[in-house]
Structures are given as structure tokens and as C-alpha cells.
Amino acid sequence: MDIASLLGLLLAVAGILVGHTLDGGKFSSLVQPAAFAIVVVGTFGAVLLQTKKSAFIRGMRMLRWVFAPPPDRRQQLAREIHLWSLSARRDGLLSLEQYMAKADPFIQKGLRLVVDGIHPDKLRSLLETDINSYEMRERQAARIWESAAGYAPTVGILGAVLGLIHVMENLSDPSRLGAGIAVAFVSTVYGVGLANLLFYPVGNKLKGIVAERVLQYEILTDVFHDIATGDYTRVLEERIACLTAQH
């Protein structure tokens, strides 16, 4: 659990609620199901319209990374690289086949290319193609949250206009004016608030996680290239140092 992300979200929401209360407002005045439905459903409907279904579903699933990021595997990868290096140097490249069973697909492919004796430059090219494909797919998924942040304020304004239409339709009934005005203003609050306190931060955090994973894959690509060329010296140690130095 990423406590910092959870604390940040709670702090942002608390700041708005406390400020609203100190200004004499009531919490109940911000609870408007109609406004929430307009903003949230409308926003994600627009996002789905512009996005492939697979990218949309992937982006929604990635939301859990904000509060439960993928485990940090840098130290484990560093140990595995040491094992690959020692095994290849001592028993030859074919010995790397034993490490393929429990590895993730990218590592499996890298080890298989090394074991199959693929030319190091061709190996690097193939793995870089996989990295580019992975990065494009993950960034498209993460981008749905940036898109939501762009649409939410506008949909909030649309909700405000709908609320004002409701007010104008009921000018003869003062008892119904308050509800329409509340929907109008709260829709704008929801749109701007969700965009800046949730959607933009989520999108930026997911892009950062994707960037870290892409960097790890790039370092692993260099490692596989070094092993394929028989370079087990200081260069490989520097690769490990770069991997463990990621923040």
C-alpha cells in the first residue's frame, strides 16, 4: 500500500471540505448524486468514445497501481543478473535456459534469444521493439486519466447549464429552485475537483510507473546484449548499479 498516495488524496479532499465548512457551508450541500452522475458518467463516456476498449479497460485496471504499486523488483533483478552472468561464464550460454521457467515474458524472451545464439545486435533490436510496443500500450492506457481530467471540467459546466435550465423551468415553484441551483454549482465543483485532485495526479503517477518499468527493460536489454557478446566485466556491474540506483 502506497501510504503517501492515500494520504495525499485524503489531504486534498479534507482541505476542500474543511475550507467549505469554515466558510459556513454544509457537507450535505456538496452531496448531489445528479451532479456526480452527470460529471462522472459523462466524462468516462467521452473517454471511452476516444479510446480503444482494450486501452480503456487496461487504464481502469491500472488505477490500483496508484495505491498498490507493482512490487519493487530491482534488488531481485540485480541478483538474477549476477546469476546469469556467473552461469553463462562458467557453464556456457545454454545454461541460462534453467532461469526461463519462472521469469516474466520479457526476461524469458531475452534469455531465449541469448540461448539461441541470436546475434547481439539483432537481439537488441528485437527487445527494443518489444519495449516500444509495451511502452506505447501502457502509455495509451494511462492516458485515459489525462483525457478524463481534460473532459471533466467541461462536463461539469454542462451539468451547471443543465441545472440552470432546471431552475428556469421551475421559476414558478420556488421550492424547487434550490435543488436546481445546487446541481448547477456542485457539477462545476465535481468537474474541476475530480480533474485536478484525482484524474491528473493518477495519470501522472501511472506514467511515472510505466517509465520506471520501461527503464528496467532497457537496462535488461543491455544486460542480455552484454551476455551475448561475452562481456562479463565491469560493464555488467555498471548495468546492475544503474538498475539498483533507480528511484
pLDDT digits (tens, 9 = 90+) for 146-171: 999 999 999 999 888 887 777 777 66
- Asked if 23 and 52 sit in the same domain, the reply is no
In this predicted structure, what is the pLDDT of residue 126? 94
On the question of pLDDT at 182 being above 70, the answer is no
> Three-state SS across 45-72?
HHHHHHCCHHHHHHHHHHCHHHHCCCCC
- Average pLDDT (70-77) is 84
- Asked if 19 and 110 sit in the same domain, the reply is no
- Average pLDDT (19-33) is 74
- Asked if 16 and 40 sit in the same domain, the reply is no
Quickly count: other Cβ atoms within 10 Å of residue 80's Cβ.
Answer: 18
- Asked if 122 and 173 sit in the same domain, the reply is yes
Rounded-to-integer distance, Cα 141 and Cα 64, Å:
13
Domains of the chain: total: 2
Grid cell 454542462 is found at 158
- Average pLDDT (176-199) is 81
- Asked if 40 and 14 sit in the same domain, the reply is no
- Asked if 21 and 128 sit in the same domain, the reply is no
The model's confidence at residue 177, banded by pLDDT at 50, 70 and 90, is: low
- Ranking 40-49, 106-115, 166-175 by mean pLDDT, the lowest is 166-175
- Asked if 106 and 11 sit in the same domain, the reply is no
- Asked if 36 and 26 sit in the same domain, the reply is no
Compute the C-alpha angle 211/116/79, nearest 5°. 50
Share of the chain above pLDDT 70, in %: 90
pTM beyond 0.95: the answer is: no
Candidates 140, 178, 180; CA nearest to 34 is: 180
- Asked if 128 and 104 sit in the same domain, the reply is yes
- Asked if 18 and 69 sit in the same domain, the reply is no
- Asked if 57 and 166 sit in the same domain, the reply is yes
Give the domain extent around 3.
Answer: 1-31
- Asked if 129 and 20 sit in the same domain, the reply is no
Rounded-to-integer distance, Cα 68 and Cα 64, Å:
6
